[in-house]
Amino acid sequence: MQMSPVIAVHMTAAIGALVIGPMVLWARRQDNQRPVMHRALGYAWVTLMLLAAVSALWIRDFRLPNLAGYTPIHLLVPAVFFGLGRAFWNLAQRDIRGHRISMQVTYASGCIVAGAFTLLPNRYLGQLVWTQWLGWA
């Protein structure tokens, strides 16, 4: 099994967003505010999420239930665009609570849920982890 450049870009961006996300959320805790760090890491996280979402459009799988190669996990692509757009809209309206909720939901759906789906045994990363690295499947 060989990794294509698109999968490499997608996986790098997704793993980066998964790692940076908690740091962004931690930097704005109520009792421990670090606004410069929050903003810098936040822009990096948004960039990684956009890169992961856009690159996902070029990753198609015709083996799973699909529509023109797009599987149900691809529904998270518009969800990420909507979540990020909503978060910045809330920020422009000075709705910090709405911004926080939008970003938390986008992190949970775009990183945690999508990451869990990629570890299914019939997906590329799942086969890599379960079969090649751990030898279980």
pLDDT tens digit sequence for 89-107: 999 999 999 999 999 999 9
- Tens of pLDDT along the chain (137 residues) come to 568 999 999 999 999 999 999 999 888 866 667 788 899 999 999 999 999 999 999 998 887 788 998 988 899 999 999 999 999 999 999 999 999 999 999 999 999 999 998 888 888 888 888 888 888 86
What does the pLDDT read at residue 105? 97
What CA–CA distance (Å, rounded) separates 113 from 48? 16
pLDDT at 30: 62
Q: Supply the range of the domain harboring residue 19.
A: 5-59+66-133
The pLDDT of residue 40 is 93
pTM given for the model: 0.89
Identify the pLDDT of residue 8: 93
The predicted pLDDT at position 122 comes to 80
Q: Indicate the number of domains in the chain.
A: 1
pLDDT score recorded for residue 61: 82
Alpha helices in the chain (DSSP H): 5-26, 35-56, 76-92, 96-107, 114-118, 124-127
pLDDT of residue 78: 96
Instruction: Please say whether the dihedral angle defined by the alpha carbons of residues 108, 110, 111 and 116, taken in this order, is positive or negative.
Output: positive
